[in-house]
Amino acid sequence: MRKALSLDDGDTVLLEIVGGEIHVRPLRDAVSRVQARLREYVSADVSLSAELIADRRAEAISE
């Protein structure tokens, strides 16, 4: 199973029960899926992490 999922020691996996079955997938795959979905709504030239950091800095200054 580890080879089929390309898992190394210490890799994080997600376990989910679907229809009475246990589904196992690497965390990196779940993150990739979410990133792909977000890219549909955010242009490729926009860095969400940079925007988040800028927002946090602005909040810290206003406190």
- pLDDT tens-digit readout, 5-42: 999 999 999 999 999 999 999 999 999 998 888 888 88
- pLDDT, residue 48, reads 84
Residue burial 19-35, b: 16+ Cβ < 10 Å; e: rest: eeeeeeebeeeeeeeee
For residues 40-61, average pLDDT? 89
- pLDDT, residue 29, reads 93
- pLDDT, residue 17, reads 97
* Residue 42 per-residue DSSP state: S
Q: Which residue has the tokens 């899926």?
A: 33
- pLDDT, residue 36, reads 87
Distance CA 1, CA 23 (A): 12
